[in-house]
A = this chain, B = another copy of it.
Amino acid sequence: MATLKDVAALAGVSVKTVSNVVNGYAFVKPENRRRVEEALVSTGYRPNLGARNLRRGRTGFVALVLPELVVPYFAELAGLVLGAAQEREWNVLIEQTLGTREGERDTLASLGPHMIDGAIVSPEALQARDFGELAPGIPVVMLGEHSVDLPIDHVGIDNVEAARAAVAHLVGLGRTRIAAIGAHPHRGTAAQRLEGYRLALAEAGLPVRDSLVATALNYHRRDGAEAMARLLAADEPPDAVFCFNDLLAVGAVRAAAERGVRVPADVAVVGFDNTEEGAYSLPSLTSVAPDKAAIARAAVDLLRRRVEDPERPPEHVRTPFSLEIRDSTRSGA
């Protein structure tokens, strides 16, 4: 593997001059520049990033910490972050926490302070305040959970508003027994979506019944199916369900189908995340659609600014969302 030294020897100049050419330093005699460039090509020189970063004190790596890649929302998001980071010449290290608190702690601890220039974290169990101690001095941008009181950069949609819009849509269909699937004791986003759900019901003059709020400890298809089964088995089953993500909704739709309950005729279903899976499922899924590309771009951008100036005041970026209406809430279907 060719190093600067080899190139320098071949071009008959010093190592530093080669380094200067590589880094685009202006004052290099054209003649030398030509010779160096020739030597660079003929040796196939590639900088040793480890050495460069050791010298510069940066690594060029960013961590993307998220619960699980098998959750389509995170897979889509990861893809977009990868793309956005590529433009900034960052390499992305994806870490899965599996949603457990230990997983998140381990991940952040094991990354070590030297490995990464910063991290984009989509927390699930972890409280935001844990970050200070776990990743001391590492620039962090948080996704999803909204925690205004903490001095940490943050990107996300307005979960309360989004949930309210989703439930308002169900209200608009004339549904009155609207359930929610996805309540969770420790998840910030869950609390916010539940809040939006309650607000929408209150605005419509509908009662908020505990029996219609289903907890889901994970947000997988299986959890949605189980929750829906419980709801349908109850005395007064719902005529609409707002699920806190698309996977829960997919599970809910399946559980309904298995029991001969029609969607949307008997139960209308709204999901969250607007994954492609939901758009293709039968019936296609109405879903809250966060602008994932905007989230990814904003997160990478915020992290870049934070890395460049660690002292700047933390920023909260609110990205837009919309409601994609599909067959699972269309009466015609």
Q: Which residues of A contact B (CB under 8 A)?
A: 1, 46-51, 53-54, 59, 68-70, 72, 75-76, 78-79, 82-83, 91-96, 112-115, 137, 221, 225, 250-251, 253-254, 257, 276-277, 280-282, 284
Partner of A276, one of B48, B70, B281, B282: B70
Copies in the complex: 2
Partner of A112, one of B46, B68, B82, B257: B46
Q: Are A114 and B75 in contact, CB atoms less than 8 angstroms apart?
A: no
Name the distance in Å between A161's Cβ and chain B's nearest Cβ. Answer: 27
Inside 8 A of A48's CB, which chain B residues have their CB?
54, 114
CA distance A112 to B91 in the complex (A): 12
CA distance A54 to B52 in the complex (A): 10
Q: Are A46 and B94 in contact, CB atoms less than 8 angstroms apart?
A: no
Question: Lowest 5 A-B CB distances belong to which pairs?
Answer: A75-B75, A48-B114, A69-B79, A221-B280, A69-B75
Q: Which of A79, A82, A254, A257 has the most CB of B within 10 A?
A: A79
Inside 8 A of A82's CB, which chain B residues have their CB?
69, 94-96
Name the distance in Å between A131's Cβ and chain B's nearest Cβ. Answer: 16
CA distance A93 to B60 in the complex (A): 12
Inside 8 A of A257's CB, which chain B residues have their CB?
282
Closest to A75 in B: B75
Q: Are A282 and B280 in contact, CB atoms less than 8 angstroms apart?
A: no
Partner of A93, one of B68, B91, B114, B280: B91
Closest to A279 in B: B221
Inside 8 A of A114's CB, which chain B residues have their CB?
1, 46-51
Name the distance in Å between A109's Cβ and chain B's nearest Cβ. Answer: 9
CA distance A53 to B275 in the complex (A): 40
Inside 8 A of A284's CB, which chain B residues have their CB?
254
Not counting A70-B75, A225-B280, a sample of 10 additional A-B residue pairs whose C-beta atoms are within 8 angstroms of each other reads A1-B137, A70-B72, A72-B72, A72-B75, A79-B96, A82-B94, A82-B96, A94-B94, A254-B282, A281-B282
CA distance A49 to B93 in the complex (A): 15
What are 23 contact pairs spanning A and B, CB under 8 A? A46-B113, A48-B54, A49-B112, A49-B114, A49-B115, A50-B114, A51-B54, A54-B54, A69-B75, A69-B82, A70-B72, A70-B276, A72-B75, A79-B96, A82-B94, A83-B96, A92-B94, A250-B281, A251-B280, A253-B282, A257-B282, A277-B277, A281-B282
